[in-house]
A and B are shown apart, each in its own frame.
Chain A
Amino acid sequence: MKRIGIDVGGTNTDAALIVDGKVVKGVKTPTTEDVLGGVRTVLGLVLDGEGAAGLDGVMIGTTHFTNAVVQRRGLNKVSALRIGLPSGASLPPFVDWPKDLAGLVRGTVHMVRGGHEYDGRPLVPMDRDAIREAAGHISEAGVRSVAVSAVFSPLTNECEVEAAEILRRENPDLHVTLSSELGRIGLLERENVALLNACLQDLAHKTTRAFVDALRDSGIQAPLYLTQNDGTIMRAEVAEAFPVYCFASGPTNSMRGAAFLSGVEDGVVVDVGGTTSDIGYLKAGFPREANSTVEIGGVRTLFRMPDLLSIGLGGGTEIAADTQAIGPGSVGYRLTREALVFGGRQLTATDIAVAAGVADIGDRSKVAGLPKAMVEATLRRMREMIAEGMDRMKTEAGDLPLLAVGGGSFLIPDTVEGASEVVRVEHHAIANAVGAGIAQVSGEVDRILSGMGRDRALETAAAEARARAVASGAEERTLKTVEAEDLPLAYLSGDTLRVRVRVVGDIAANARRPERSVA
C-alpha cells in the first residue's frame, strides 16, 4: 500500500509518502502561481530515490477554492436562474451575500415562474419562455457559468434538469450547476452553494488540469483523487465539477493527519497556514461536523462541512507598518519574495516571529532593526487571537490538548490558556498532506423507496451504501454510517420515503484502483 498525499495550500505545497500506514517521507515547497510547478516539485522530491512504480494513488487536498472565495480572487462571473415565482421575489439570489463578493461575481439574475410544492405538485407551470429569454441575456452578458435553483428541487429536480437542457440548447458551452446536486432543503442556502460552485468553474478546471499535468510530467500512472470536506476522496474528473466539495478538505485533512500522527484523538487542532489559522475540534479522530449553516467568505451555506473556525492569521499575514494591524491580507505563496526575512518589503507574521526569536526562517538580520516593543506587542496579540479561537471552539470548560500543526505553527506558544498541553507532532508541517494520504472511501445511496416501512427502507439503503463503499475499495470492517436520513414524500402512494445513507471506511489494502461510487 503506497500512496502520496499532497496538500496545496495558499502558501506551501506539501507531500507525504505513506507506505503501509507509515509516513516514510515528507516534503514541502512553496506553492507556485500556476499550482503546477509546486506540485511537480513536491512529486519530484518525494519520489526521489523511490520511483513512481507500485503507487496506489495520489490524493490531493487543496484550499485553493476556499482561498479564492475568501480573498475574492480568480472567481468567474456567474448568472443565477431561480425557478420559483410567484414566491420569494423579495429575496432574490445573492440577497444575503457580502456586497463586495456579490459585486465581483454577480452576472445576470433571473427569477422565473415554476418550482414545486412540498408534496410534488407543480407550484405553477414552469415558464419555459422566460428561461429561454434568460439564456439569451446570459449569452449577451458573456457569462459562461450559471447556477440553477428551484423551489423544492431536493424533492424533485425536474425543473432544474429541464431548465439546464433549455439553457444548454441555447448556449452549448454554458456550465450549469444545479442546486439539487449540492444542497439540502433551504432554498437560499442551497442556491448559495450552487452560486459558489458556479463562480469557481474556471479555477476548478484550470487547477485540476494543473494536477493532471503534474502527475503526467512526473511519470505517475496511479489514479488522481481530490479529497472532500468529509475526509473522503473523489476521482479528479468528478471532483472538477464540484469545487465546493473541496472547500474544507484542507482543514479536514490537517485535523485527521494531526490525529493520525500524534495518536491524540480528542483535542483542538490549530492549523496555522500561510493565510489563515483553522481551528477545529477533534473527537475520536474525526472533525466535529457543523450542525448549522456554515459561512464561506461571508456566504451562508448549508451542506456537509466540518465545524471550523477560521481566523485571519497565518505565516504570511501582513502586519501594517503604521498601525501594526494584523491581517487580514496575506502575501500567501509570495512569502519567500515579499517577507522582510526573504529580502522583500512587506512586514509579515513570520518576520515578527523571527524577530522575536521564536522562528528561524530566512535572513534574521533583515528584521534586526524592528523595534523590540512593537515585535513583542504584535506577537502577544497574535497569540491572543489563537487562544481566543481555541476557546470559542471548545464545548466544555475543561482544558484539552492543543495539536499544533501547519507551516506557521511557530506562532503557537508552548503554553496556551485553556490547553492542557501543546502537542507538536512529528511531520506537523505536513499534517494535511498526511491527512490527504489517509483519506477514506465513501458509499452513498440516495433514492426513493416505497412499501417497506421506514426501518427496512433505512436498512436496505444502508446495506447498499456499504456494498458501494466496498466496491469502491473500502475495507468492510472499517465502515461507519456517517449520515442516515429519510424524507417523507406525501404525494406518492403508500409509505414512500426518500432515503439517504452515507458510509465511509478505510481503503482496503488490496484495492488497487478504488473508484468513487456515484449514487
Chain B
Amino acid sequence: MRTIEPDEIDLLATGAWILGAGGGGNPYLAGLNLRTLYETGTRVSLIDPMELADDDAVALVSSMGAPLVGRERLSDPRFAVKPLVAMQKYLGREVRAVMSGEIGGTNALQPLMVAAVTGLPVVDADAMGRAFPETQMSSFAIDELPMLPLVLADIRDTELIIPRAESPKWMERIARKALTEMGSVAATCKAPRTGREVKDHAILHSTTKAIRIGRTVHEARRRHDDPIAALVEAEKGAVLFRGKVHDVSRRATEGFLRGTVRIEGLDGDRGASLELAFQNEFAAAWRDGEVQVTTPEIICVMDSVSGEAIGTEMIRYGQRVSVVVLPVPDFFLTQRALAATGPRAFGYDFDFRTVLAGRGQ
C-alpha cells in the first residue's frame, strides 16, 4: 500500500482520459475535487490487489451516465459516497477497500473521491482496462460473477437498489431506464467483490498504468517532444490517421451519446477520409469506407498539437486531430470477451479488427 502523491492526480487524470477512448467523461472535474481535498491535507492510499485477503470485500464505485451531463452537473465527493453507504447498510457489512469498475475517464477517479471522504484505500485495478458504455462489458460480467445488488443514487434524495435481475443485460436495461429519469447521471455502487475475485478476474494494476500513460504524455510535453508519438511508442499503439474534423453528428438516445465523426486527411493522409462511430466511446473506424479498427481496441482522438484527448461530446468541426489506437488488455481478445465487447455487441455486422500487429484477428 502506498500514498498517491499530489502530482499523480493530474497524471492519473490525463492517462484515464486517454484510456476513456473518447468516453468515460473528462476527469478534470473529479481531479479538481481531489486537488481541493488534497489542499486541505487529505491523502488517498493505493493498495496492490495482491495485498488483499481472499475474503476482503471491495466495493466498485462509479459514476454512470452521459459524459456531456457530467460537464454541467458537476461531480461531488459527498454524492459519490452515497451509494456505498446505502450498499453497506443493505448488506449489513463494511468493505475493506474501493475500486474502479472502469479506468477510462472520470470513473478512474471516482474511487479516489470516495476514498478521500471515507479513508478507505483504492485497489490498483479495474474491470475494463478502458471505458465501455455498458456494465456487461466488464471482465467481472464476462467471467459471469454475480453483478448484483446494484445501488444507484440520484442527486435528489432518491436511491435505487436492484437486488435481483435475470442477467447483467437486464440489470443494465433497468438501471439505464432509471438513470434516464435521474437526468442521465447517477452515482453507483456495484456488488462488492471478494479479494480473491479481484485477483482472479480484475484488470490488474490499471491505476498504475493510467498514471504511467499520464507521465509519458506530460514528460513529452515538457521536453517539447510530440506527446502522441511518445504515447504510441511507450504503449505499443499506432497513429491511425491525421486530419481535420469535417462533420460531427450526435444524438442522445436511451442514456447514450451516439453519433459519427468524419475527418478529412492532412499531411500523409491528405485525400483520404476517416469515419468514426461512437456510442459514448469510439467503437469503430472506417478509412474511405473500409473498416480498420473496432472495439474493444482503444480508439482515441487527440489534439494533433497538444496531445490532449478529445471526448466524443466535445469533438467539433475544424479541430486538427490524430486518431490513435492503443491495445486493449489481452483478456478482451478472447472469443468470450469479444462476444461481449466486439463490434457485433454494438450492433455492427462485422468482426473485430485492429491495425496493431499480432493481435489474433
- A91-B32, A187-B71 known; A485+B306 contact, CB < 8 A: no
Any A CB within 8 A of the CB of B291: no
* Surface stretch bound by A, among B6-14, B73-81, B205-213: B73-81
- A96-B32, A292-B303, A292-B310 known; A483+B317 contact, CB < 8 A: yes
Q: Which residues of A contact B32 (CB under 8 A)?
A: 91, 95-96
Any B CB within 8 A of the CB of A68: no
- A91-B33, A123-B183 known; A151+B73 contact, CB < 8 A: yes
User: Does A90 lie within 8 Å of B304, measured CB to CB?
Assistant: no
Q: With contacts defined as CB atoms under 8 Å apart, how many contacts are there between chain A and chain B in the complex?
A: 107
How far in angstroms is the closest Cβ of chain B from A193?
14
Which residue of B72, B75, B156 contacts A152 across the interface (Cβ within 8 Å)?
Answer: B72
Which residue of B72, B156, B308 contacts A185 across the interface (Cβ within 8 Å)?
Answer: B72
User: Does B267 lie within 8 Å of A292, measured CB to CB?
Assistant: no
Q: Which residues of B contact A486 (CB under 8 A)?
A: 249-250
Q: Which residues of B contact A118 (CB under 8 A)?
A: 66, 68-69, 72, 183-184, 252
User: Does B71 lie within 8 Å of A186, measured CB to CB?
Assistant: yes
Inter-chain CA distance A121–B183, complex, in Å, is: 9
How far in angstroms is the closest Cβ of chain B from A171?
28
Inter-chain CA distance A284–B316, complex, in Å, is: 20
Chain A 168-209 residues near chain B, CB threshold 8 A: 185-188
Q: Which 5 A-B pairs have the closest CB atoms?
A: A88-B74, A87-B73, A117-B183, A90-B76, A186-B71
Closest to B182 in A: A117
User: Please, could you name 9 A-B residue pairs with CB atoms under 8 Å apart, sorted by A?
Assistant: A84-B74, A89-B76, A185-B71, A185-B313, A291-B303, A393-B305, A395-B320, A485-B317, A488-B252
Inter-chain CA distance A87–B65, complex, in Å, is: 15
Which residue of A84, A291, A393 contacts B308 across the interface (Cβ within 8 Å)?
Answer: A291
Which residue of A90, A96, A392 contacts B224 across the interface (Cβ within 8 Å)?
Answer: A392
Q: Which residues of A contact B250 (CB under 8 A)?
A: 486-488
User: Does A187 lie within 8 Å of B74, measured CB to CB?
Assistant: yes
Report which residue of A90, A393, A482 has the largest number of chain B beta carbons within 10 angstroms of its beta carbon: A90
Closest to B252 in A: A490
How far in angstroms is the closest Cβ of chain A from B173?
18
User: Does B76 lie within 8 Å of A91, measured CB to CB?
Assistant: yes
Inter-chain CA distance A186–B69, complex, in Å, is: 9
Any B CB within 8 A of the CB of A322: no
Q: Which residues of A contact B66 (CB under 8 A)?
A: 118
User: Does A482 lie within 8 Å of B33, measured CB to CB?
Assistant: no
Q: Which residues of B contact A84 (CB under 8 A)?
A: 72-74
Chain A 415-464 residues near chain B, CB threshold 8 A: 454
Inter-chain CA distance A152–B71, complex, in Å, is: 9
User: Does A291 lie within 8 Å of B320, measured CB to CB?
Assistant: yes
Q: Which residues of A contact B75 (CB under 8 A)?
A: 90-91
Inter-chain CA distance A118–B32, complex, in Å, is: 23
Any A CB within 8 A of the CB of B178: no
Q: Give A residues with C-beta under 8 Å from B.
A: 84, 86-91, 95-96, 115, 117-119, 121, 123-124, 151-152, 185-188, 288-289, 291-292, 307, 388, 391-393, 395-396, 454, 482-488, 490
Q: Chain A at the B interface: mostly helix, strand, loop or mixed? A: loop
Chain B 213-243 residues near chain A, CB threshold 8 A: 224
Inter-chain CA distance A331–B94, complex, in Å, is: 62
Inter-chain CA distance A391–B225, complex, in Å, is: 10
Q: Which residues of A contact B79 (CB under 8 A)?
A: 87
Q: Which residues of A contact B52 (CB under 8 A)?
A: none
Closest to A85 in B: B155
Any A CB within 8 A of the CB of B93: no
User: Does B310 lie within 8 Å of A291, measured CB to CB?
Assistant: yes
- A86-B155, A485-B317 known; A188+B29 contact, CB < 8 A: yes
Inter-chain CA distance A289–B305, complex, in Å, is: 12
Inter-chain CA distance A289–B72, complex, in Å, is: 24
Q: Which residues of A contact B119 (CB under 8 A)?
A: none
Any A CB within 8 A of the CB of B36: yes
How far in angstroms is the closest Cβ of chain A from B260?
11
How far in angstroms is the closest Cβ of chain B from A308?
12
User: Does A291 lie within 8 Å of B306, measured CB to CB?
Assistant: yes
Q: Which residues of B contact A396 (CB under 8 A)?
A: 267
Report which residue of A88, A89, A118, A484 has the largest number of chain B beta carbons within 10 angstroms of its beta carbon: A118
Inter-chain CA distance A152–B314, complex, in Å, is: 15
Q: Which residues of B contact A307 (CB under 8 A)?
A: 305
